[in-house]
Every structure is written in C-alpha cells, then in structure tokens.
Chains A and B, each alone.
Chain A
Amino acid sequence: MHVIVCVKQVPDPEIPPSSFKVDEAAKKVVPPPGVAAVVSQFDEIAVEAAMRIKDAQSDTKVTVLSMGPASAYDAIKKGLAMGSDEGVHLLDDAFEDGDAYTTAQTLAAAIQKLGDYDLILCGRQAVDWDMGVTGSALAEVLGIPSITFAKDVQVRDGSVVVERVFPDSFETVEAALPALVTISNELGEPRYPKLQQIMQAARKQVTKWSAADLGLDPSQLGASGVRLSLDRLYVPVSEIECEFVEGETPEEAAQKLAEKLREAKLV
C-alpha cells in the first residue's frame, strides 16, 4: 500500500491583520518580515489521515510530496516527523507562480514518476488562496476517482471508504483504488510528533526533482502555463460604524434598537 500526501507550504494565515499587505501593482502578497511559512492546515490533517491508515496497516508506505520554493523542504520534514517514510520536493523556478492547473500537471508528473501508488491525499484547500481545486484537478489529470471533504478515510480490500462532510449531513462513499481524497478538518487534529521521529526525519533524505527530472516543458509550467488570470489583488476596506442605542429603561432602549434595525431593514 502506497499513500502519497500532497502538502503545500503557505504564508502563516494567523498573522495579525495589520501585518498582511499586498502589492497591488505586482498583484502579489508581500510576505511580512520575520514570519515563518507554515504547512497548510488541511494538508497537515491529510498527513494525519495517512498516518491513521498506516497505524491500521503497518505495511503502508507514505510519501510526502510538495511543490514549492526551498523553504517547502520544512513542510516535507514536518510530514516526515509525523511518521511519513519518504519525501519528494519539486523544486524549480519554472514551477513558480502557477495556478491550480499547472500545479496539478506538475504533481501528476511527479506521481507518475513515483509509479506505483494506491491512494493520494490532499488537503481540501490550501489556506492561502482557498480555491480548493488542485486536488480534484490532479485526480482529473491522473484519471482516477476523486472524493472531496473527507472526515474519515478507511482502506479495505482494494477500495477506499470515505465519510464526506456536508453542512448538514454526512455521506459515505466508496471508490476503487487508486483514488484521490481531499481531507477536511473534521478528521481531527494532526498528531504531535515524537522527538525520536523528529530527529529521524532530520536525517532522512528528501528527493529533489526539477522540471527536467519530470520531463516537463518549462513553457507549460508555472507562470507561463497558467489558465487563470488575476485581475486585481487588494485588501478590502471594511468599515464598521458603532452606535450605542440609549434609553431611560432597558425596555425603552430595546424599543429604540428595534426601530433602528427596522429602519436599516435588518428585521
């Protein structure tokens, strides 16, 4: 059993809003100084899902795959520390500034190069752009079934049984392997690695592949191959007006509040 988990390193989504800045002219996010990038939250949970499969079936091999700049190495290490067996880092300037389409193409090439695989796990969406399409696009390129928003993943007899999350319900679906599943936060918290594992992870070799290693044409990759164009990038201005409704008695204040709300057509 070979499980491949795709992880993405993202700018820390938990920085204070005041330090989030964009360069509107370049249409890029300005990384705040001194803030380290983190593993996208749902991707960490995807690693956790892989580990749970490994816990149940000890002959499972888990490979962490990440496309990104040199710092994405840390995201792979995190996956290794949680218990993954191997790491693959897709590192090439040609991969930069792509969209979901070029990313899916690149990841698919790497997965095909890895060869034998049974299950591919992705986070339901990356917490930077929150588009949530790379996973499904990857399944499309590979020509395998795709199941999204999983809160539970079980592998049995050549198929995967997935519990999916909806706003008001759950759905259990089954697909033949190989298949791709995107993981939602309802699956649970990612495990805290044991120190021994962190140290072993530090010693593990991570395979690095460039566009040439994958036999991909750089003109189809990254910024050159995008099918999505960004029109404008800006931080919306949110204005909040706060007004206190006063009254002699609580009843009077409530009545005035109700009137105000009615005026604003909110009730």
Chain B
Amino acid sequence: MAPSTAFPGNIFYYLILVGFVGFFIAAVAVRIVPFLEAKRVNRLDSMPQRVWGVVLFVLGQLRLLRHGYMYSGILHALIFWGFVVLLIRSINLLLGGFHEDASLQSLLRDVYTVYRPVMDLFNVVVIVGVIMAGINRVFIRPARLTLNIDAWFILGLIFFLMVSDVLGNSAEISMERGGADYVSFWAFGLANLWDRLGFEGLGLELMHSALWYSHVIFLLGFLCYLPFSKHSHILTVLFNVFFRTTRPSGVLQPIPNIEEQEVFGVGQVSNFTWKQILDFYTCTECGRCEINCPAFLTDKALSPKRIMHDMRYVVEQEVRSLTPLGSRSETKREPKSLIESVGFEVIWDCVTCGACQYQCPVFNEHVPALQDLRRYLVMDEANMPETAAATLMQLEQRGHPWRGTQFTRTDWMEGMDIPTFDGSQEYLYWVGCTGALVDRNIPITQALARLLTEAGISFGCLGEEETCSGDPARRMGNEYLFQLQAQQTIEVWKAKGVKKVITNCPHCFNTFKHEYPQFDGHFEVIHHAELLAQLLKEGKLRAKNGLAGRIAYHDSCYLGRHNNIYQAPREVIAALPKAQFIEFPRNRANGFCCGAGGGHMWVEETPGQRINNARTQEAQEAGAQIIATACPFCVQMFEDGIPAVEPDEEKRMKTMDIAELLQASVAAEPTRAAAAEPASPPSQEQEGGSS
C-alpha cells in the first residue's frame, strides 16, 4: 500500500502532484505557443505509411540499430523498451497513490500479475542499458556525442528510478506478504533478504515511504525536466516520426503564390512550419548527422547537429520571453536573431546531400530548414556569397550557370547526326547546361548520344531551346527564379509534345521528376544510368572489350540517396567484361558527396579541406584506377580532385562517366587486341588490371 493513501501522506502526495504536474503542463503549454504561430503544413497524407513508420522506427528502433552504431543502438533500445514496459508500473504507482483500489494491480489483478515478472526483467534491462550508456560516454566516447552534464543527469535519474522501483517494491512485499508476490522476482528476492536480515517494523516502513516518495518525486521531476533538455525527444519523437515527410529526401517544397508573399524564406521563428519546430525539440544531439556531413568532416562551420540546437535556442528564446522568468533575463542578453544564431557561413556550407537526414534516427529534416534560411538570405535580404550572387545573376541573364563558356548548346553535336526534338521521337534527350557547355562533359554527352543511337532509341534534343532546369537557383535559395525557369521549361515541353525525358544530370533528373509536378509538369523522366542498365539487359547494347582496371563507382547524392538509384549504374559497370568493380568504403546510402551539391558547383568553398579532395583521397586509398560516376558535377569535382591528391601525373586516377565507359566498351572490337581499345587509359592495364 502506498504511504500516500492515509493522512498526512495524502496531502503531501497531492501537493507533489499539483506542483510537478502543474509545472510540467505550464512548461509544455508555453512551448506550444510557437507551434501555433508557425506556418501550417499538411502531414496527414499516406496514413498507413505513417503508422507503419511509428511501428518500425519508434517501437522497432530500426534507425538506431544500424550497422556502425550497433552499440549505441542496442543500449538505446534497451532503455527505450524498458521505459515502454515500465510505463505501466509508473501508472500503477501514481494511481495507487490515490487509493489502493485505484491501482492497476487492484484493477487488473491477474493480468497485472502476469506482467509483473516482465517489469522486473526490464528493470534490469534498463539498468544494463544505462551502464552501457555510461561506458559509451566514459570509455568509447564516440566523436559525434556532445559529452555534457545533461546526459549524466538523465542517466543518473533513470538509474535511480530503476533502483528505487525495485527496492520500494521489495519493501512493500516485505511489509504486506501474500498473493503472487514471488512473480516480481527481484523485489521478492530482496524482500526475503530483508526478512533474513530482520529488517522490519518502523525501519522498513520508513524505508518504503522514503523510496516511494523519492521515486514519485524523481519520476515527476524527470517529466518536468524533459521540456528543458535534449531529452524532450521522449515527449516528441512519436509525433516527429509519425509526421515525418513521406516525400523523397531531395525535394524542396514550393512557395505558393510567391508574388503575393511578404516574406519568402525563414528569417524568424514564426516563418518555420510547426513540423520544423518539432524537429528542433526532437533532436537528441546523437551526432549521427554530424559524422556523415561532408561539410562538417572537412572542417566547415556547418554541423547539422548544432543547427538543430541553435534553432531550438532561438525558439526557446521566444518561449522564455513569454514567461515571467524570461522577461527578466532578457535584459542580460541581447536576443540573437535566427540568422545570427545559425550563422551565415553555416547556411551556405550545406551541399544538400541529405546524409544527415538519412542518418537521423528521429527523421529530422535538416536540409529543407537550411534551404529556408538560404531563401531568406537570398530573396529577402539579398545577402549571399559573391560567387552565389554572380551565379544567380548569370542564370537570370543567360539561362545557364557557366559564365564564360566557349561553347554553344549545339557545339557538341558537330559531326554527329542529332535530330531536333519535334514531338515525333519517343524521348527528349535533355543534355543540360553542363553537358553542353563544359569542356569535360561534352564527351560524356556525345558518348550517351552514340549509345542511344546504337541502341536504336528514338530521341531528339532541344539545342538552343534548352535552358536551366532551375535546380541551381532553387538550391541557392532563389525560389522565384526557379519557378520562372521551371514554368518556362514545362511550357516548352508541353508545346513540343514531350512525354519522356532522358537526362544524364541527376540534379536535372531530381528536379524534373519530383519538383516539376509541383507546377503541373508531369513527365516520365529517366536517368541515363537506369536507361543504360535496361538497354544492356534487353541486349540492345552489348559491351565488348573496352576498359580494364579497377573501377570504383561514386554515388551521386541526387541519384543515390535522394532517388535510391544504386543498382543500375553498378550493373552498367558490371557489364564491362574487363573491368574490376570495387566499392568506396562509404558507398550507396552512406555515400559521401563530391562537394558540388546545393549550388556548390559554383559557390566558393569556405575554409577547411575541399570536399572533392576528401572524396578523391578515399578513392585512391581504396585502390581505384578509375572513378566512375553518373553525374556531370561529380566528374568535374574529381577532375579537380585527382591532381590535388596525386602530384605524380603517371600515377593519377581517371574519372569517367558510366556512359563513357560503356560507350568505349560497346565501340571496342570484340577481340583481345590492345589497339582496339581507343579509350582505355594508358598504362593502367599493366599497373593493376591483373591484380
């Protein structure tokens, strides 16, 4: 029986309840204000997917139990599952505090009895989890963790709650023998120990009272602490996972009726959507985002973990100003603006690769939040790096980002018989600005056009009528320019009767496939990696001899992580008879950006190591001779990275698009004569092809 069921314990209990629960409600209520003032966003689509997500990722802890994070994942799962199981005991305890008959134990009787040993087991499970967490923080110390006092405080609390639970239970059993108490095996065992030690009477009762009250106080105190700590995820994670985005990760949402808006991006808390604010309160600073972020890993200012913290800080600043406590402390510190708090460099460091989001166990959406801040800087403040301003102006004026190009959009066609798209062909081959206007990419465009011709694909190009897809403008924060460009292209396509589009640029691909439908542009879009894999399967293309050597495939973020196309480009390489395929250590969904995403092909990179050099280094260490990719930006980044990491020209790797690799192989004579390998890199075959 709980000590609070009789006078004066009951008064004490009511005071505790009113005090703690009142405080908790007030703390939560004041934090709901920014949610109510935030922008609305509908997150009630795809309900079955949402519910299933909660089962897999909250109850199943699947994102925590990932390779590379198994230790942390297991300890978290142990504590989490323990919490879920023991929630019943906590409810039982609090209800029993009012009246003996109100407890679950009295209400559910046998059912509760069956459940008791499970709870005792999970007391231990949680303690094991807490000890593992302690070991993690003292000995393992993963670099991603913020090793602060907050975590120790919470771990201590959880540990105490478990111990006081078992001990209190044991005292109660010892005091009120009878029934099926033995099922609570730990508590029962301890109760027997108390008996054997002759521990009884007032001493035992006092111990029970002390443990009972302190358990209740720590339990409720824990609850009250949550809204102020990173452990608020306990309150929010269920909602955050449920309301997660169901769209592909590389998609940005349009600003509707942009010409009627007063603010275009996010410059203050009220410009965020409620879901974004929920993200900030759900971040637990586990740092999985950080140690996968190409910007962070090359010593830039950006840490996806810190931006969540910093944005929450600004929300909290507003929350505090609503409380009597906050209005006083405000005089001490100037409130920081959102942009100041996150930081100009940080906002521009993001390459939008989506690694953070892929890793985040609670499905936070870092990239769109940063993009919203960029939109504010660009459209509301016109405040951006000079290189970004120059690129946006270039895009506006010339419809392509390649200032100073020596090529026209039709130069690559010279000497080839490339039909102009007129609606009679099945496919539009969208070459893209980079494919047409950049020296290094022209051979790739030509190789793909030759392969399409060889396979008998009916296609045509737009030539001078092509303009930028809009992706760079959108990623650089100029949503207005993006919308103009997207609408223009959609209009042209519709007028020409375009139904199917082939593109060799993953950025164009992502925009056409997922973002043009936002403006009523519905087309069937296929990336050349998929098309080439399909043509090989169908036997329309046959790889003969061609290149030899160790080929590592680099996943473009907008093809891989954002569009889940991992297999097709690998199949193309696997089809090359003499190629030896190897993987980067970080591959597929764990792939590492080349450094060109999010407009960074044109925006100057800030301090630290260059991202492309880091990635090139990785290829070199993996023993690659050729870095294959399926993105025109990646190719350029490696072209820059290779000489930077290997001063010796003789030993340098090559970088090639899969279309170039396949074309060289398709065009090769099916003999073993070395002379029949025109595109084969010299010296590489002798060097390592046979190993």
Contact = CB atoms under 8 A, between A and B. Distances in A.
Interface residues of B, number: 28
Given A192-B378, A194-B380, A196-B380, 4 more contacts: A18-B408, A34-B465, A192-B389, A192-B392
A235 to B, nearest CB: 15
Nearest to A197: B382
Given A17-B406, A18-B411, A192-B389, A12 B382 contact: no
B379 interface: yes
B408 A194 contact: no
Interface in A17-42: 17-19, 32-36, 38
B259 interface: yes
A191 B393 CA distance: 10
Contact of B398 (A14, A17, A33, A195): A14
A188 to B, nearest CB: 10
B403 interface: yes
B461 to A, nearest CB: 14
A17 B399 CA distance: 18
Contact of A14 (B379, B382, B404, B411): B404
A36 B398 contact: yes
Interface in A188-215: 189, 191-196, 198-199
A16 interface: yes
B208 to A, nearest CB: 68
B397 A19 contact: no
Contacts of A19: 408
B569 to A, nearest CB: 32
Contacts of A38: 397
Contacts of A36: 397-399
A33 B393 contact: no
A34 B478 CA distance: 23
Interface of A: 12, 14-19, 32-36, 38, 189, 191-196, 198-199
Contacts of A34: 464-465
A244 to B, nearest CB: 17
Contacts of B112: none
A60 to B, nearest CB: 19
B480 to A, nearest CB: 5
Contacts of B478: 195
B526 interface: no
A195 B380 contact: yes
24 contacts: A14-B403, A16-B408, A18-B406, A18-B407, A33-B464, A34-B464, A36-B397, A36-B398, A36-B399, A38-B397, A189-B386, A189-B389, A191-B382, A192-B378, A192-B392, A193-B382, A194-B380, A194-B382, A195-B378, A195-B380, A195-B478, A196-B262, A196-B380, A198-B480
B580 to A, nearest CB: 36
Contacts of B411: 16, 18
A83 to B, nearest CB: 10
A143 B171 CA distance: 105
A16 B407 contact: yes
Nearest to A15: B408
Contacts of B390: 189
Contacts of B392: 192
A34 B393 CA distance: 18
Interface in B297-345: none
Given A14-B404, A16-B408, A189-B389, A194 B379 contact: yes
Interface string B352-390: 000000000000000000000000001111101010011
B406 A16 contact: yes
A192 B382 contact: yes
**Interface residue SS majority, chain A:** loop
Interface of B: 259, 262, 264, 378-382, 384, 386, 389-390, 392-393, 397-399, 403-408, 411, 464-465, 478, 480
Contacts, number: 52
A41 B411 CA distance: 27
Best-buried of A15, A16, A191, A195 by chain B (most CB within 10 Å): A195
The 5 A-B residue pairs with the shortest CB-CB distance, nearest first, are A195-B379, A192-B389, A34-B464, A194-B382, A192-B382
Nearest to A38: B397
A32 B409 CA distance: 12
Contacts of B381: 194
A133 to B, nearest CB: 26
B393 A12 contact: no
A42 to B, nearest CB: 15
Nearest to A35: B398
Contacts of B397: 12, 36, 38
Contact of B405 (A16, A35, A194): A16
Contact of A192 (B384, B408, B464): B384
Nearest to B409: A34
A189 B393 CA distance: 11
Contacts of A32: 408
Nearest to A37: B397
Contacts of B464: 33-34
Nearest to B403: A14
B599 to A, nearest CB: 14
B398 A12 contact: yes
A199 B379 CA distance: 11
Contacts of A35: 398
Given A34-B465, A36-B398, A192-B382, A199 B259 contact: yes
Nearest to B463: A34
Nearest to B263: A196
A194 B262 CA distance: 12
B380 to A, nearest CB: 6
Contacts of B389: 189, 192
A18 to B, nearest CB: 7
Nearest to A16: B406
Nearest to A82: B382
Nearest to A196: B380
Contacts of B399: 36
A192 B264 CA distance: 16
Contacts of B407: 16, 18
Contacts of A14: 398, 403-404
Best-buried of B264, B378, B398, B399 by chain A (most CB within 10 Å): B398
Contacts of A15: 408
A191 B397 CA distance: 15
Contacts of A16: 405-408, 411
A34 B456 CA distance: 31
Nearest to B255: A195
A14 B381 CA distance: 28
Contacts of A194: 379-382
Contacts of A196: 262, 379-380
Nearest to B264: A195
B297 to A, nearest CB: 31
Contacts of A199: 259
Nearest to B437: A16
A196 B404 CA distance: 29
A189 B391 CA distance: 13
Contacts of B403: 14
Contacts of B406: 16-18
Contacts of B378: 192, 195
Contacts of B384: 192
A195 B408 contact: no
B482 to A, nearest CB: 12
